Every structure is written in structure tokens, then in C-alpha cells.
Amino acid sequence: MKFLHLSDTHLRQDYASDWFTHRIFTDYDNPTIRFRHLLASINPVDYDFAIVTGDLCHEGEASDYGLFRSLWQEHLGDLPYFFCRGNHDPGAAFAEGMQVEMNLEGSYIACHEFKGLRIIILDSYQEGDHEGAISEAQFQQLKTWLSKPAEKGSILIQHHPLAWEEPDICTRVPQGFAELIASSDIRAIFVGHVHTASVVTYQGINQYMSEAISFGVDEYDHESIFTNRTGYNSVTLTSDQIFYYRHYLTPHQSMIARMAKPFDNSIF
């Protein structure tokens, strides 16, 4: 089984109208153009499905999510894709544009079965906060989903990382969450958010973070550096192995903007 891992596409139809995106993108160089070029380069017959780990749009309207869906259909046809919500995906616009239902607490969570593989989607979005959290209600639902092993095991998809070198960036989780993950049939965790590729373990399970389609970020003590580094990943899943391949769209990066710290992370 082979699939794509894309993340942080940050699509908008109008980058000039947002306080952040107008500083670093133009009509001729922006994430929507990069996303379109990437999709055009992919042969859908090479993959069984795709996952997109959040920030599909950047503070978008429903029409921006409609653009995401139309570009996918135009280039990849009926290739299935599974996605989660990121911190830049406002609930009402996300739900309407991606044609999904939110639960009673306003989160988008789901559990899909694909040829024996269970694909679990959690929602780490927090209103007014750049970092993520998993609610108690999601935890209880996760318990139910994981109570019976899947034929080919499970993968977990969410936007914010569960493990990271800086503790403040790690997703806040309820008591017992880590133990549940450790004892489950989850084979891998797929995340985005930080705009850099990495692999780290969480409870002994590999967490794979993808480069962003939109832009790269390098963090320093006193500033954030934004670059044109972009990429995605392909994954081959066998009965007992996961092969994870990085693909860089712009391997020779250059700086496109910088921002002094501290800044209000509720809006970035």
C-alpha cells in the first residue's frame, strides 16, 4: 500500500487581504501556485490514497476550501484523500468548504477503513491558540475506535505534533492518552504544523512530520525565518514495515521573510 503525505498547504484565493500572507507572497509566487504545480506532477495511479495533515487553507473562506477540492479533482481525479484540521482552518469555513460535519464540541474527527487499514483523524485545533490540544471527548472516542484491532493496523492523523524537542509545541492530551497510544495497534502518527520534516518517536511509535507545501520555517531564539523550502512525502506500508521518503520541491532554499519574537502566536 502506497500513499502521499502532504501538509500545510495554506491555500487562499487572495493572499493580499491577510496581514501575514501579504508580507511574503505575491500573485506569482504563493502556496496555491505551488500546490497546483505539485498536483500536476503526481500520477494518481502510483498511489492508493493521500493524507493532508492540516492547515489546508490560511484563515480561509468556504470558497478557499472549495478551491482545494476543485484543484484536487482537476489533477488527481478520484484519488481518495483523508485530512485533518489545522490551527489555520476556522471551523465553519472548513466544514462548509470541505463538506464535513463537526461534532457537538465543534471538532472534526473521523475513523475510516481503507483496504484493512484504519485511518483515525483527530482535531487538535484550539480557538485563539497556535498550539494544539486533544479534548477528553476525543480521547473517549479514540478509546472506542481502538478497542478492537484493525486488520492492517491503524495510523493516526492530526495537525500538531505529539512529540517535539520544545515541550510547549507538543499537543496537550488528557491523562491516559499516551498509555492508550502505546497499547494500541497504531503503526505510525502523521503530523504537520512546524513546516519542517522530522521523525521522532511517541510512546515507541514513529511520528512523521512533513515539510509544508506552502513555505518553510526555521526557528531561532529571537526570530522566525520563513523560506521557500517546500516538500512532501511518500509512504509505502507493508505488513511489517513503513518506508518514508522525503521529496523536496525547492531543495535550494532562500529566505522570503523574517519576524522578530515575541509575536502574537494566536494569529500566526
Please report the pLDDT score of residue 252 as a whole number: 76
266 located within any domain: no
268 located within any domain: no
Please report the pLDDT score of residue 267 as a whole number: 46
Q: Which helix (H) or strand (E) holds 114?
A: strand 110-114
Mean pLDDT of 139-146: 98
265 located within any domain: no
* Tens-digit pLDDT profile for residues 159-200: 999 999 989 999 999 999 999 999 999 999 999 999 999 999
User: Does the pLDDT of residue 100 top 90, yes or no?
Assistant: yes
Please report the pLDDT score of residue 179 as a whole number: 98
Give the confidence band of 263 by pLDDT, cuts at 50, 70, 90: low
Tell whether omega for the bond before 174 is within 30 degrees of 0, i.e. cis: no
C-alpha 229: how far from its chain's center?
Answer: 16
Please report the pLDDT score of residue 253 as a whole number: 82
Mean pLDDT of 141-152: 97
Alpha helices in the chain (DSSP H): 21-24, 31-41, 62-76, 91-98, 136-146, 177-182
- Least-confidence region, from 87-91, 143-147, 153-157, 252-256: 252-256
Neighbour order of strands in the sheet with 223-227:
216-219, 223-227, 255-260
What total of structural domains would you count in the chain? 1
- Please give the residue that has the higher pLDDT: either 178 or 254: 178
Angle between helices 91-98 and 62-76 (to 10 degrees): 30
Report the CATH number at residue 184.
3.60.21.10
Q: What is the DSSP letter of 75?
A: H
Task: Write out the residue range of the structural domain in which residue 6 sits.
Answer: 2-260
User: Does the pLDDT of residue 11 top 80, yes or no?
Assistant: yes
User: Does the pLDDT of residue 23 top 90, yes or no?
Assistant: no
Grid cell in block for residue 3: 500513499
Q: Do residues 123 and 157 make contact, with C-beta atoms less than 8 angstroms apart?
A: no
Please report the pLDDT score of residue 266 as a whole number: 45
42 located within any domain: yes
227 located within any domain: yes
* Mean pLDDT of the chain, nearest integer: 94
Task: Please state, for a pLDDT cut of 70, what percent of the chain lies above it.
Answer: 97
55 located within any domain: yes
52 located within any domain: yes
User: Does the pLDDT of residue 24 top 80, yes or no?
Assistant: yes
* Tens-digit pLDDT profile for residues 210-252: 999 999 988 888 888 999 999 999 999 999 999 999 999 887 7
